[in-house]
Amino acid sequence: MSAELEIDWTRCQGRGLCIELLATDLTSDPWGYPLARRADGHKSGTVILAEEQLEAADEAVKMCPLSALKLRTTARQ
Protein backbone atom coordinates (compact mmCIF):
# COMPACT_ATOMS: atom_id res chain seq x y z
CA MET A 1 0.00 0.00 0.00
CA SER A 2 1.11 3.54 -0.62
CA ALA A 3 -0.75 6.58 0.60
CA GLU A 4 -1.10 10.16 -0.46
CA LEU A 5 -2.67 12.91 1.54
CA GLU A 6 -4.69 15.11 -0.75
CA ILE A 7 -4.90 18.69 0.44
CA ASP A 8 -7.64 20.98 -0.81
CA TRP A 9 -5.55 24.14 -0.66
CA THR A 10 -8.60 26.29 -1.31
CA ARG A 11 -10.07 25.06 2.00
CA CYS A 12 -6.95 24.76 4.16
CA GLN A 13 -6.45 27.69 6.51
CA GLY A 14 -3.41 26.37 8.28
CA ARG A 15 -5.06 25.37 11.57
CA GLY A 16 -2.26 22.86 11.92
CA LEU A 17 -3.97 19.75 13.34
CA CYS A 18 -2.60 17.56 10.56
CA ILE A 19 0.89 18.91 11.21
CA GLU A 20 0.65 17.76 14.83
CA LEU A 21 -0.81 14.36 14.01
CA LEU A 22 1.61 13.65 11.17
CA ALA A 23 4.70 15.27 12.64
CA THR A 24 7.09 12.79 11.03
CA ASP A 25 5.86 13.67 7.53
CA LEU A 26 4.61 17.23 7.88
CA THR A 27 5.96 20.46 9.20
CA SER A 28 4.69 24.02 9.02
CA ASP A 29 5.65 26.52 6.32
CA PRO A 30 6.37 30.16 7.33
CA TRP A 31 2.63 30.92 7.17
CA GLY A 32 1.41 27.90 9.13
CA TYR A 33 0.33 25.69 6.22
CA PRO A 34 1.25 22.00 6.11
CA LEU A 35 4.52 21.31 4.32
CA ALA A 36 5.99 17.90 3.48
CA ARG A 37 9.27 17.25 5.27
CA ARG A 38 10.59 15.27 2.32
CA ALA A 39 11.97 17.52 -0.41
CA ASP A 40 10.05 15.60 -3.08
CA GLY A 41 6.98 15.14 -0.86
CA HIS A 42 4.66 17.44 -2.83
CA LYS A 43 3.14 16.18 -6.03
CA SER A 44 0.44 18.42 -7.54
CA GLY A 45 -1.39 19.16 -4.34
CA THR A 46 -0.78 15.90 -2.50
CA VAL A 47 1.70 14.77 0.13
CA ILE A 48 3.21 11.30 -0.10
CA LEU A 49 3.07 9.54 3.27
CA ALA A 50 5.08 6.78 4.85
CA GLU A 51 3.11 3.54 5.15
CA GLU A 52 3.13 3.42 8.94
CA GLN A 53 1.43 6.82 9.01
CA LEU A 54 -1.87 5.53 7.62
CA GLU A 55 -3.66 5.47 10.95
CA ALA A 56 -2.53 8.94 11.94
CA ALA A 57 -3.44 10.19 8.48
CA ASP A 58 -6.93 8.76 8.82
CA GLU A 59 -7.23 10.62 12.10
CA ALA A 60 -6.03 13.86 10.49
CA VAL A 61 -8.63 13.54 7.75
CA LYS A 62 -11.40 13.13 10.33
CA MET A 63 -10.13 15.90 12.60
CA CYS A 64 -9.47 18.61 10.00
CA PRO A 65 -11.84 21.44 10.99
CA LEU A 66 -12.15 22.59 7.36
CA SER A 67 -12.51 19.11 5.81
CA ALA A 68 -9.57 19.94 3.58
CA LEU A 69 -7.98 16.49 3.63
CA LYS A 70 -8.57 13.21 1.85
CA LEU A 71 -6.57 10.03 2.00
CA ARG A 72 -5.81 8.22 -1.24
CA THR A 73 -4.43 4.73 -0.98
CA THR A 74 -3.29 2.55 -3.84
CA ALA A 75 -2.16 -1.05 -3.74
CA ARG A 76 1.50 -1.27 -4.72
CA GLN A 77 2.22 -3.25 -7.86
Partner 1 sequence: MSTTSIPKLVLGVLEEPRLLAAGPDASWSQHLDTFGPVPSATGDSQILAQWEASGLSGRGGGSFPTARKIAAVQRSVARTGKAPVLIANGSEGEPLSYKDQMLLTHAPHVVLDGIELTARILGASSSYLVTKAGAHPRLLQAMSERGESSVTLHATDSHFLAGQATAVISSLEGGPSLPRHQPWHLSDFGLGGAPTLLVNVETLAHLALIARYSAHWFRSAGTEEDPGSRMVSIHDAGHYQVHEVHGGSNLSVLLEQLQIPTKDIHAVLVGGFHGQFTRDLDISLSATSDAAQYPATIAVGAGVLEILRFGTCPLERASEIVDYLAQSSAKQCGPCMFGLPTLARDLQAVAQRSNDPALVERIERLGELVTGRGACHHPDATARLASSALHVFDDELQAHLSGQCLHKF
Largest pairwise CA distance in the chain: 37
Instruction: Using the minimum distance from each CB to partner 1, give the nearer residue, 1 or 39.
Output: 39
Q: Between 33 and 59, name the residue whose CB sits nearer to partner 1.
A: 33
Q: Is 33 in the site for partner 1 (CB under 8 A)?
A: yes
Cα separation, 70 vs 77, whole angstroms: 22
User: What is the chain's length?
Assistant: 77
Residues between 37 and 66 with contacts to partner 1, criterion CB under 8 A: 42-46
Going through the chain in order, the beta strands assigned E by DSSP cover 2-7, 26-28, 34-36, 42-43, 46-49, 69-74
Q: Work out how close the CB of 37 gets to partner 1 at its nearest, in angstroms, rounded to a whole number.
A: 13
Q: Which is nearer to partner 1, 35 or 61 (CB)?
A: 35
Give the binding site for partner 1 (CB under 8 A).
6-14, 29-33, 35, 42-46, 70
